[in-house]
Amino acid sequence: MFDIQILDTPLDPQRCIDFVSNPTAGGITSFVGTVRNQTKGRSVDRLEFEAYVPMALSEMQKLAEEARQRWQTEKIAMHHRVGVLGIGEIAVVIAVATPHRKAAFEACQFLIDTLKQTVPIWKKEVLEDGEIWVAAHP
């Protein structure tokens, strides 16, 4: 029902989509978050993600369970990367399958928005002129 992982290797969006795909799903929605080359007008060299993995996995599991209750999701995949990521690399992938498309969109948005707010994952932006720790995916 859930595939929840924190990995220090490149993420594969297709793997998440394949996990949630099933014959009763009328809607599959995915979100792929990548490292961009700027933030607030400043050039970004790379991002560094750290997580308190046991708690992060537990919180992600709770989010998936809440989404299942609220939107009758059939399957959910949430993968987040830790470590050093370069421009264009994938930091997070979420895929959701539900019987209908509207629920899939709503559940996916809930999952990424709430993950950013509540899961203990931290991001350091390494800029051309310094570095700063920020909440993951602001």
Where are the domains positioned within the chain? Answer: 2-130
Class of domain 2-130: alpha beta
Q: pLDDT (tens digit, 9 = 90+) per residue, 31-45?
A: 999 999 998 889 999
Plot region of 127 (φ>0 → left; ψ -120 to 50 → alpha; else → beta): beta
Q: pLDDT (tens digit, 9 = 90+) per residue, 47-93?
A: 999 999 999 999 999 999 999 999 999 999 999 999 999 999 999 99
Tally of helices (H runs) and strands (E runs) in the chain? 3, 9
| pTM assigned to the model | 0.93
